[in-house]
Amino acid sequence: MRYADLHQRSITDPNGFWMEQAQAIDWVTPPSKALFDEHAPLYEWFSDGMVNACWNALDRHIEAGNGDRIAVIHDSPVTNSITKLTYTEMRDRVAALAGALAAKGVTKGDRVIIYMPMVPEALMAMLACGRLGAIHSVVFGGFAAHELAVRINDAQPKCIIAGSCGIEPGRVVAYKPLLDGAISEATHKPDFTVILQRDALHADLVAGRDHDWAEFVRDAKPADCVPVEGNHPAYVLYTSGTTGQPKGVIRATGGHLVALQWTMKNIYDVDPGEVFWAASDVGWVVGHSYICYAPLIAGNTTIVFEGKPVGTPDAGTFWRVISEHKVKSFFTAPTAFRAVKREDPTGAFVGKYDLSCLKTVYLAGERADPDTIVWAQDQLKVPVVDHWWQTETGWPMAANPMGVEALPIKLGSPAVAMPGYDIHVLDEGGHPVSAGTLGAIAVKLPLPPGTLPTLWNAEARFRKSYLEQFPGYYATGDAGYMDEDGYVYIMARTDDVINVAGHRLSTGAMEEVLASHPDVAECAVIGVADDLKGQLPLGFLCLNKGATQTPENVVKDCIKLVRDQIGPVAAFKLAVVVDRLPKTRSGKILRATMAQIADSKPFKMPATIDDPIILDEIATGLKSLGYAKG
């Protein structure tokens, strides 16, 4: 079948199309229909079916006789170890953990926060929640205590499952003090925690509250899978918005299973038993969908990689893992390839490994610059497929459906709309623009299964953030254009979200932290272009009259504050003190203009600017940091 016909059908007959795809999932009670549109513009999928995510990810493969197949490979250059777990081993360990959680009162609908490094136990914790119908919320290990506390307050977990530490190149990151700090800062207190003690660092446990994972599961009675409604939340994943309060993206169980199952063959072209590797982190949506759920739902082998593209131990790590574990499809972020390319531009390491198993590479998380794609194609001699999606959607909005029909690759484009996504480019008034014209990228409602039905505890924010700007559409927050062939090109964000090394960060959240410094009167954070990470945050600070500290010390303090409050992942290392910020006459800070000056891009003087001279002062400040070179 031509992909274009498949896509057309998914738009004109969503019920028929998705009910067919739903047959690939084991239902306790099959849904009566796919789309539930009674509360439009809020939509749900498969709401009246009964299903269990863990059953579909593990048990059903064992029932089908594939229990000895490898489900998870933990490849950890930072601990120098490789561990393989079969589907049966995973199921047994997950059932035991679920049983122990149930014995402590965790039940369907309870929230469980998971704060763990890249170890198989992170997947076990997620799947144990799914087994019970509990709702997990994974928090990325690079976030600091305050960010964890914000999520604890919003999700109100009964339990937190954490690792004792993460291992970054050159340092062990003690998670437990961060967890303790977060619990003491949060107004909501979990009933108990479960701590995975790692050899690199054992954590001190609080008697009565903290449980050692190994003891916790020792005598547990294995739990069975609890059927849940198709619209029951499988998880809440917080992502950056425009303020310091992250958005809790809800993933409903039924649509999640159906959509992810569809993608593994049709986009990623892997069959059951084949090895798929997404080199991301379980704390991000890529990790949820393509390290944990999708490959397991589809019966693949997934790789949990605890390392970095470079330095663990060298720029050949990716190729070693692909070759050693026979990876067929590999998914990473462009920034990771840029890091490898910088250390090994001629691909000396590539030549050391037999990569004949590798058929396709997939890139997402940020714009894939053509140079990086061409470099990867030249080195690896396989198609390098850019694809575009976001936490909210849970799976690609635009991609090249390699398992259906390999479409021509156009550099700079993540290709075409995936099933159920009716992508349009709109002008400010919400009118579709012609091919090649820049605009806001929006998806006609309803979004397909697996995408967010709403935000956790924040339906009004959901409507305001995504549905109100263009009635009848979901506003993606990205801007770009489409060509005559329906290929989309993603050019920029339309909001204050920046993308640093494939990590989505809120400049607003950083500004809130900077503004809390007693000497800072006003501030702004912008994203500046960076060869390696795509973007880096850069802060402008205006100091109070009579500030107690020198400007240099305020800058140092502010850098430390962001690291302590948001976490090292914010990579906030650039800040400069300026007298004033450029604003419109109505007082709006001209962040986009400052970013254009920083990147030495031509810009139009905003007609509404209050005082153009300030831009010269901004340029001087930027030059002192090596930007705005002219």
Residue 367, contacted partner among ligand AMP, ligand COA, none, CB below 5-8 A by kind: ligand AMP
Among 20, 168, 224, 324, binds ligand COA (CB under 6 A): 168
DSSP H or E run through 136: strand 135-138
* Terminal Cα distance for the chain, rounded: 52
Please tell me the distance from the alpha carbon of residue 581 to that of residue 584, in angstroms, as a whole number. Answer: 10
For ligand COA, the closer of residues 133 and 163 by Cβ is 163
What residues have CB less than 8 Å from 240, skipping those under 6 apart? 246, 247, 497, 504, 505, 506, 509
Among 150, 361, 364, 505, binds ligand COA (CB under 6 A): 364
400 binds ligand AMP (CB under 6 A): no
401 binds ligand COA (CB under 6 A): no
DSSP string, 458-517: -HHHHIIIIISSSTTEEEEEEEEEE-TTS-EEEEEESSSEEEETTEEEEHHHHHHHHHTS
Choices 154-162, 186-194, 329-337, 457-465; region in contact with ligand COA by CB under 6 A: 329-337
For ligand COA, the closer of residues 51 and 368 by Cβ is 368
128 binds ligand AMP (CB under 6 A): no
285 binds ligand AMP (CB under 6 A): yes
Rg (CA), the chain: 24
499 binds ligand AMP (CB under 6 A): yes
Q: How far is the CB of 183 from ligand COA (least distance, A)?
A: 18
Please tell me the distance from the alpha carbon of residue 50 to that of residue 516, in angstroms, as a whole number. Answer: 48
Q: Is the dihedral of CA 280, 286, 290, 291 positive or negative?
A: positive
Q: How far is the CB of 339 from ligand COA (least distance, A)?
A: 4
How many chain residues are in contact with ligand AMP, going by CB under 6 A? 22
298: phi then psi, degrees, rounded to nearest 5: -85, 0
**Contact positions with ligand AMP (CB under 6 A) in 340-369:** 364-368
**Contact positions with ligand COA (CB under 6 A) in 442-481:** none
* Interaxial angle between packed helices 14-22 and 3-12, expressed in degrees from 0 to 180 and rounded to the nearest 10: 110
Residue 276, contacted partner among ligand AMP, ligand COA, none, CB below 5-8 A by kind: none
Q: Which of 419, 413, 426, 415 has its CA nearest to residue 474?
A: 426
Among 173, 418, 538, 554, binds ligand COA (CB under 6 A): 173
Across-strand partners of 44? 36
Among 119, 186, 257, 490, binds ligand AMP (CB under 6 A): 490
For ligand COA, the closer of residues 170 and 208 by Cβ is 170
Do strands 416-417 and 398-399 pair parallel, antiparallel, or not at all (unpaired)? antiparallel
Please tell me the distance from the alpha carbon of residue 588 to that of residue 571, in angstroms, as a whole number. Answer: 26
DSSP H or E run through 155: helix 145-155
Please tell me the distance from the alpha carbon of residue 334 to that of residue 372, in angstroms, as a whole number. Answer: 7
Q: Which of 517, 535, 516, 630 has its CA nearest to residue 574?
A: 535
Choices 51-59, 210-218, 279-287, 386-394; region in contact with ligand COA by CB under 6 A: 279-287
Give, in order, the Cα–Cα distances in Å from 175 to each of 181, 200, 236, 245, 509.
Answer: 10, 12, 21, 22, 22
For ligand COA, the closer of residues 149 and 217 by Cβ is 149
Q: Which of 533, 620, 512, 622 has its CA nearest to residue 574?
A: 622
Q: How far is the CB of 268 from ligand AMP (least distance, A)?
A: 15
Q: How far is the CB of 241 from ligand AMP (least distance, A)?
A: 10
Q: How far is the CB of 560 from ligand AMP (least distance, A)?
A: 25
Choices 194-202, 383-391, 421-429, 613-621; region in contact with ligand AMP by CB under 6 A: 383-391
Among 22, 155, 339, 417, binds ligand COA (CB under 6 A): 339
Q: Which of 405, 401, 443 has its CA nearest to residue 425?
A: 443
Site string for ligand COA, 3-42 (x = CB under 6 A): ----------------------------------------
What residues have CB less than 8 Å from 384, skipping those under 6 apart? 360, 361, 362, 363, 368, 373, 376, 377, 409
- b/e sequence 385-422, b meaning 16+ C-beta within 10 Å: bbbbbbbbbbbbbbbbbbbbeebebbebbbbbbbbbbb
Among 21, 56, 156, 239, binds ligand AMP (CB under 6 A): 239
Residue 296, contacted partner among ligand COA, ligand AMP, none, CB below 5-8 A by kind: none
Among 163, 230, 233, 309, binds ligand COA (CB under 6 A): 309
Angle at 254 between CA 7 and CA 277, to 5 degrees: 70
**130: helix, strand or coil:** helix
For ligand AMP, the closer of residues 289 and 593 by Cβ is 289
410 binds ligand AMP (CB under 6 A): no
The H-assigned helical ranges of 244-366 are 253-266, 285-287, 294-297, 317-325, 334-343
Structure tokens at 615: 């831009």
Burial status of residue 82 (CB atoms within 10 A of its CB: 0-12, 13-18, 19 or more): middle
Q: How far is the CB of 17 from ligand COA (least distance, A)?
A: 28
84 binds ligand AMP (CB under 6 A): no
Among 336, 399, 440, 443, binds ligand COA (CB under 6 A): 336
477 binds ligand AMP (CB under 6 A): yes
How many chain residues are in contact with ligand COA, going by CB under 6 A? 26
280 binds ligand COA (CB under 6 A): yes
Q: How far is the CB of 188 from ligand COA (least distance, A)?
A: 23
Structure tokens at 101: 């959680």
Q: For tokens 């998705």, name the residue.
A: 18
For ligand AMP, the closer of residues 74 and 591 by Cβ is 591
For ligand AMP, the closer of residues 364 and 590 by Cβ is 364
* DSSP tag of 388: B
For ligand AMP, the closer of residues 96 and 399 by Cβ is 399
571 binds ligand COA (CB under 6 A): yes
Q: How far is the CB of 568 from ligand AMP (least distance, A)?
A: 17
Among 190, 233, 446, 502, binds ligand COA (CB under 6 A): 502
Choices 147-155, 263-271, 470-478, 607-615; region in contact with ligand AMP by CB under 6 A: 470-478
414 binds ligand COA (CB under 6 A): no
309: phi then psi, degrees, rounded to nearest 5: -65, -30
* Residues binding ligand COA (CB under 6 A): 141-142, 166, 168, 173, 279-281, 284, 286, 308-310, 333, 335-336, 339, 364-365, 501-503, 532, 568-569, 571
Q: Which residues of this chain interact with ligand AMP, rule CB under 6 A?
A: 239, 284-285, 364-368, 386-391, 414, 476-478, 490, 493, 499, 504
